[in-house]
Amino acid sequence: MRGMNGMNMQQMMKQAQKMQKQMMAEQKDLAAQEFVGVAPDDMVSAKFTGDKKLVDLQIKPEAVDPDDVDMLTDLVMAAVNDGLQKVDAATQQKLGKYTKGLGM
């Protein structure tokens, strides 16, 4: 840190604190949003918050076939994975600017 005066260090700290506050506000905003993942033909939908909590799962009656439970399992997984992918994409779009160059 040779050659860096106290003022520059203080400015850097203020800038880092400001950035952290902005990032926390954006994370809070993201967590308040809802994302809906859907399976093919909208047979199953899964609703998530921005912090990846499953808050609703809708299954259409025609998706339920007692003789083909595997199909229902696949539809639920497709809807859940689609919803999580949407949360990840939004998170990257909103918070990616903070993690660039940080090795995250």
Span 10-24, average pLDDT: 89
Contact 39, 58 (CB under 8 A): no
* Alpha-carbon span 68 to 72, nearest angstrom: 7
Residue pLDDT, tens place only, 18-33: 988 988 998 898 989 9
- Look at residue 6 in the predicted model and tell me its pLDDT: 61
Q: Return the structure tokens found at 62.
A: 């025609």
Residue range 32-63, pLDDT digits in tens: 999 999 999 999 999 999 999 999 999 999 99
> Cβ of 42: how many Cβ atoms within 10 Å?
13
Alpha helix positions (H), the chain:
6-32, 69-99
